Amino acid sequence: MKVSDHKNAQLIEEAKATLINNDLGGYTVPTHGLYPFQWNWDSAIVALGWLPFDEPRAWEETTSLLSAQWQTGMVPHVVFHQQSDTYFPGPDIWGVKNELDSTSITQPPVLASVIKILYEETKDRALADSQIKTIIPQLIHSHLWWYKHRDPENTGLVVSYHPWESGMDNSPAWDDALEAVPCIDWEYTRRDTSHIDASERPHKKEYDRFLYLVDFFRKMNFDDTLIYQDCPYRVNDVSIISILHRATKDLLWLCEKTGVDNEQTEYLKERLNLTASAMNKLWCAKTNMFHSFDTRSNSLCQARTSAGLLPFFAGLVNEQQATPLISVLDNWLEHSQFAISSTHPEDPNYEPQRYWRGPIWLHVNWMIMLGLKDYGFSTQAERITDGSRACIYASGFNESFHAETGARSGGADFSWTAAMGLYWLL
Ligand code: 9YW
């Protein structure tokens, strides 16, 4: 379904206004109140939203994020550019002492894939050429960090230390792995549930463990080696692995276009091969899809989540896996007139309105859609595009959408949804 041209033009104006209103000068907050800082993968997606109407601002979104890159190469999950007491936990709890305040973890590295799009689609070539020169070394630094620090044993599969790193905070995929994490022993006041109804947010038992991990990183002095050894939560997240893989390919494409060819790019190519040869570990022949892997209990994470479809985005689905995985996806889509929900509707932990346990997230659908196109599954790619657009028609630019009704779930006036509208759907 498509709405009238008039209605579409109106939605485009609303989407632009959402970004402009969430712009705090060089970076865009996901939404005011609930998320008042710069988030890593949000900013990458948001840059795509700026692109059609303000190219310099699109690039600036990415450079402001990269300005917080750690000396190690890590690009943090949140950059606390200014103070705000509407969010918890703030910089005092994270305890990072860098020039720019940030959290001590990262988020799915979709940035290089976005930069490739910016580079290809920016009309002002002088702008693109000048930006890319400084950005490529920063991206290389970040990707080397991922592979060296998050896969020090060269298994081919990087690890994540916190559900917030996955960007899919309370996904049922993390339930068992999180259960093994102790709870913190101090009192705290959450801020999220003063903005959004608790029925749409993670439970306290999850927050208690989220915060234990935050404390743990600080106690380890943010030392990657110590954290790798002792972190009670250590997961091969299939979403991060897939996004990183695609982003590394996109980064190498950028390097080739701009004549960067050195030991580091050779190393990244080797890493791509290593990951491709390790992916079978994440395939489950019972569910016919990919799952994350808990390296502490040595077992696959049980839940069937949309992350398990992201290997399409990475080109990491082999010939034998593609057909059964497409059947899973077809069945998934039969449950809703909208798009892919974050958890499969037949999964016992599916909750259609609770954050990453059911609602539809448009940027995840966009990545799955791109992957399906690459594999030639154009019918499914179109179906996901239409269903994603239907979410915006149903309730606007929300953080996410109720998996069955398309109603608002989470925050309103949300930047990445407006960006997906502007770049992809409207
Ligand atoms: C947090 C901002 C972020 C997103 C994540 C989402 C949520 C909460 O909000 O995280 O405190 O990091 O799960 O994907 O980047 O929109």
Q: How confident is the model over 312-338, as pLDDT tens digits?
A: 999 999 999 999 999 999 999 999 999
Residue 332 Cβ < 6 Å to ligand 1: no
Element (H, E) at 59: helix 55-66
| Residue 312 beta carbon below 6 angstroms from any ligand 1 atom | no
Please compute the mean of the pLDDT values over residues 108-118 and round it to a whole number: 99
C-alpha 5 to ligand 1 mean position (Å)? 33
| CB 413 near ligand 1, within 6 Å | no
| Confidence band of 235 (pLDDT split at 50, 70, 90) | very high
Per-residue pLDDT tens for 209-233? Answer: 999 999 999 999 999 999 999 999 9
Interface predicted TM-score (ipTM) over 0.95:
yes
Residue 168 pLDDT level (bands cut at 50, 70, 90): very high
User: Could you tell me if 168 and 356 are in contact, meaning their C-beta atoms sit under 8 angstroms apart?
Assistant: yes
Q: Is 216 helix (H, G, I), strand (E, B) or coil?
A: helix
Structure tokens at 271: 């890493």
Query: How many whole angstroms from 167 Cα to the centroid of ligand 1?
Result: 6
CB of 50 closer than 6 angstroms to any ligand 1 atom: no
pLDDT at 73: 98
Residue 419 confidence (pLDDT): 99
| 79 close to 132: Cβ distance less than 8 angstroms | no
Token pair in block for residue 152: 């020090």
The amino acid sitting at 48 is L
Ligand 1 centroid to 364 CA: how many Å? 13
Q: Which of 78, 87, 164, 196 to mutate to test the pocket of ligand 1 (most atoms within 8 A of CB)?
A: 164
Report the distance separating Cα 232 and Cα 230, nearest Å.
6
Q: Which of 42, 60, 169, 351 is catalytic?
A: 169
Task: Work out the average pLDDT over 268-292.
Answer: 98
Phi-psi region of 156 (alpha: psi -120 to 50; beta: other; left: phi over 0): left
Is 169 assigned a catalytic role?
yes
Q: Whose CA is nearest to atom 7 of ligand 1?
A: 167
Residue 129 annotated to the active site = no
Of 22, 35, 195, best ligand 1 pocket probe by most atoms within 8 Å of the beta carbon: 35
**CA atoms within 13 Å, Cβ hemisphere of 174:** 29
Average pLDDT of the segment spanning 257-268: 98
What is the C-alpha to C-alpha distance for residues 105 and 83, in angstroms, rounded to an integer? 19
Peptide bond into 152 cis (omega under 30): no
pLDDT computed for residue 115 by the predictor: 98
Q: Give the nearest ligand 1 atom to 416 CA.
A: 16
Whole-number pLDDT of residue 2: 78
Which residues face 236 on adjacent strands? 293
pLDDT for position 390: 98
* Catalytic residue chosen out of the listed positions 151, 165, 206, 399: 399
Give phi and psi for 119, each to the nearest 5.
-65, -40
Give the SS3 label for residue 213.
helix
1 pLDDT above the threshold of 80: no
Domains and CATH numbers, the chain: 5-425 (1.50.10.10)
Which mutation among 29, 31, 37, 39 tests ligand 1's pocket best, with the greatest number of atoms within 8 A of CB?
39
